[in-house]
Amino acid sequence: MIPSSTEARRLYYLKQFEAVQSDCNNRTSRSNNLYNQICFNLLRKKQSMENVLIVEQKDNWM
């Protein structure tokens, strides 16, 4: 279940992506292009999620 508050959601997604990202970094088959593409896409999603949450937090402050 995804938390409702912005901060809790940020931490939830951060933990989700950190788990996957560490798996990407520890993977020995880095020459596998498909796996690299999946990791790259997840990293981009993580960054865009952080950007969305930053915007949400700015909206909440105003």
pLDDT at 62 over 60: no
pLDDT score of 46: 75
pLDDT score of 29: 53
Give the model confidence (pLDDT) of 21-60 as tens digits.
676 666 555 566 777 777 777 778 777 777 777 776 676 6
pLDDT score of 16: 75
Q: Give the whole-angstrom CA distance, residue 28 versus residue 46.
A: 22
Which pTM value belongs to this model? 0.44
pLDDT score of 28: 53
Q: Report yes or no: 53 and 9 within 8 Å, Cβ to Cβ.
A: yes
Query: What is the helix (H) or strand (E) element at residue 25, kind and residue range?
Result: helix 6-26
